[in-house]
Amino acid sequence: MELIKLIYVSTVSDAFSLSSVDEILVAAQRNNGEKGITGILYYNHKYFMQYLEGDKQEVELIYKRILEDNRHYNVLLLDKSALDERRFGCWSMAYLLQSEILKTLNFYFMDSPEFNPYRLDAQSANELITELRSHLPLAYLHSDALSKTYR
């Protein structure tokens, strides 16, 4: 397996509705689980940032499908590169909605109170993903999820 990571950002479109995040996560957790893809989706009502990791061929296939999704547009690829070890082995698709606590990260990474992921480059996007990982519920690390960890 050729392990890679891929990070992109995008803008929520008019086709996006209140139920869209749930639908996306249900589809992502089902499809990604089958294909051994793990990662995180970060969302703030206006923009998405998604980190995907897994076999190169599978990540490219899912990314192609995501690109065609009309619930977002202006998709900008920030990073696609080789990966030694997964960072989200327990999560077929972890999800974080921007909160007051996470807003403090905007100043650090985007020099602004607003989350605007188009201001990120590959390095800062990777650093922000690492920060977001530390905000995921630790309970996952001590649950049955571990038995489903992807390598």
Both tokens of residue 29?
């957790």
The SS3 call for residue 46 is coil
* Nearer CB in complex with ligand FAD: 54/106: 54
Decide whether 32 or 98 has the Cβ nearer to ligand FAD: 32
Residue among 91 and 106 whose Cβ is closer to ligand FAD: 91
Q: Which residues bind ligand FAD (CB under 6 A)?
A: 10, 15, 23-24, 27-28, 31-32, 41, 48, 50, 62, 65-66, 69-72, 93
- Closest contact distance (angstroms) between CB of 46 and ligand FAD is 12
151: CB partners within 8 A, 6+ apart: 86, 89
Buried b / exposed e over 114-135, threshold 16 CB at 10 Å, is: ebebeebeeeebbebbeebeee
Of 70 and 142, which has the nearer Cβ to ligand FAD? 70
AA identity, residue 147: S
Which of 16, 106 has the CB closer to ligand FAD?
Answer: 16
Q: Which two tokens stand for residue 11?
A: 């803008």
Amino acid at 86: R
Nearest distance in Å: CB 130, ligand FAD: 19
Q: Whole-number minimum distance, CB 143 to ligand FAD, in Å?
A: 21
Sheet of strand 94-97: strand arrangement: 72-82, 3-12, 47-55, 38-43, 94-97
Q: How far is the CB of 69 from ligand FAD (least distance, A)?
A: 3
Q: How far is the CB of 36 from ligand FAD (least distance, A)?
A: 12
